[in-house]
């Protein structure tokens, strides 16, 4: 698909993440307004509350755009999603008769503060990147062999919706219990092995009833859109606590997402197949559509006081083994009801080369191989004051579909009372 041209001039440049082909959904406020729904176009945001008030867009749910989240729009279902996107595309297209009415409703992105784009109902994190799973096995168990169940099911755990924050939110280094290999008892204090995980987040837009399983194809149609997701991880806390029940405090202190929901419709031209299966999946995980997307991803680190960030990793969402739809299907197969606003983390996205690893645990090989930043400083894990940024875009013919940066700065641990 070529670039769709808009009367918003900044949307027609190849370097903007927000061309007319994209139209991602976010929540913003200004110095003079409360948080409300907006749509990014070029270097502007379209105030959807004002658009609705002007009668240019009408939904079955009056006032849905007045709210500081997109959940009410999600709950209206895929037909409304499609008609809303078609209406916005038509009104913002080059030569649209609505230009004179819409132009005053655009606000420069430089003048707004971004907020969480959705009210996160539940958060589930998966472990669905094959290379990452093999790397973690080699690091922690001395063998890249996968657990016996890994090639048969998307492994996941239930996280904390309350810990999900929008890009730009500072994260305090967590305190917790840790045990050194040569220690008899654990100690308590700030994590010394603080890490990131490069992930995509899928947002469930339509619910499934309690007790009712769904197919992979049905799950694919339930996904409203995607965000970049950084599942911050305290490896030393996690290493002590995770057996036998999995991550807890090592993951519960913060999960950052990008500020814009890129709709599944915007990503449709970039669909990619899941990789060949090393073990045939059970029939309930079969589907008729390609479940992944070709989205170029990048991890950057910027120490406190540095002028620029260092690129640590570049990889692609199409490296995943399980798709978001397969994960959603498996999540609901036992009867778990899914909600509009549920967030599913993909799991860490890593490629086969070290330059494609999606966590510092892999890049530094658990601290045994320090890496050097462009400033000349070395790191194994994150230090206080470091800013970590995830970037992602699907690249089209003369345009890109971007998400906005997913950024967080690490602050010192809060002293325990």
* Catalytic residue set: 132
CB within 8 Å of 294: residues ≥ 6 apart = 270, 271, 272, 316, 317, 318, 394, 395
Give the separation between CA 165 and CA 77, rounded to whole angstroms.
25
Give the separation between CA 262 and CA 244, rounded to whole angstroms.
36
For residue 71, report the phi and psi dihedrals to the nearest 5 degrees. -60, -40
Task: For residue 137, give Cα distances in angstroms to 4, 6, 98, 124, 221.
Answer: 45, 49, 57, 22, 34
Give the separation between CA 50 and CA 28, rounded to whole angstroms.
13
**CA count, 13 A, side-chain hemisphere, 95:** 2
Tokens matching residue 183: 């220690």
H runs (alpha helix) in 348-405:
360-363
CB within 8 Å of 200: residues ≥ 6 apart = 226, 227, 228, 229, 295, 317, 324, 345, 346, 349, 392
CB within 8 Å of 148: residues ≥ 6 apart = none
The residue whose two tokens read 């890009």 is 167
Q: Element (H or E) spanning 176, and its range?
A: strand 175-178
């Amino acid at each position: 698909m070529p670039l769709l041209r808009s009367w918003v001039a900044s949307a027609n440049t190849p370097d903007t993440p927000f061309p007319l082909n994209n139209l991602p959904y976010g929540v913003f406020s200004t110095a003079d307004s409360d948080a409300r729904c907006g749509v990014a176009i070029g270097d502007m945001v379209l105030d959807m509350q004002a658009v609705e008030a002007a009668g240019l867009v009408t939904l079955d749910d009056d006032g849905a755009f007045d709210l500081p989240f997109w959940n009410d729009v999600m709950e209206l279902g895929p037909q409304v999603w499609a008609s809303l996107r078609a209406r916005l595309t038509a009104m913002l297209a080059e030569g649209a008769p609505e230009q004179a009415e819409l132009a005053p409703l655009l606000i420069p992105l430089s003048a707004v503060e971004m907020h969480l784009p959705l009210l996160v109902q539940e958060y589930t994190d998966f472990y669905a990147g094959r290379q990452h799973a093999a790397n973690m096995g080699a690091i922690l168990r001395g063998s890249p062999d996968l657990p016996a169940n890994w090639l048969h099911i998307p492994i996941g755990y239930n996280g904390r919706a309350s810990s999900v924050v929008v890009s730009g939110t500072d994260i305090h280094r967590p305190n917790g219990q840790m045990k050194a290999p040569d220690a008899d008892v654990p100690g308590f204090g700030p994590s010394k092995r603080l890490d990131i995980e490069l992930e995509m987040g899928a947002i469930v837009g339509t619910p499934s009833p309690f007790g009712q399983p769904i197919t992979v194809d049905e799950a694919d149609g339930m996904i409203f859109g995607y965000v970049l997701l950084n599942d911050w991880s305290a490896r030393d806390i996690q290493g002590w606590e995770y057996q036998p029940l999995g991550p807890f405090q090592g993951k519960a202190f913060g999960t950052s997402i990008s500020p814009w929901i890129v709709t599944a419709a915007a990503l449709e031209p970039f669909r990619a197949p899941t990789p060949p299966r090393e073990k045939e999946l059970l029939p309930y995980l079969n589907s008729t559509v390609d479940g992944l997307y070709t989205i170029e991803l990048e991890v950057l680190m910027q120490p406190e006081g540095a002028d620029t960030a260092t690129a640590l990793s570049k990889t692609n969402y199409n490296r995943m083994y399980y798709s978001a739809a397969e994960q959603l299907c498996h999540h609901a197969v036992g009867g778990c009801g899914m909600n509009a606003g549920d967030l599913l983390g993909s799991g860490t996205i890593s490629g086969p080369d070290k330059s494609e690893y999606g966590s510092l645990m892999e890049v530094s090989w658990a601290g045994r191989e320090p890496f050097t930043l462009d400033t000349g400083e070395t790191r194994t894990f994150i230090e206080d004051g470091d800013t970590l940024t995830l970037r992602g875009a699907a690249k089209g013919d003369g345009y890109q579909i971007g998400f906005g940066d997913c950024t967080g700065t690490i602050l010192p641990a809060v002293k325990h009372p």
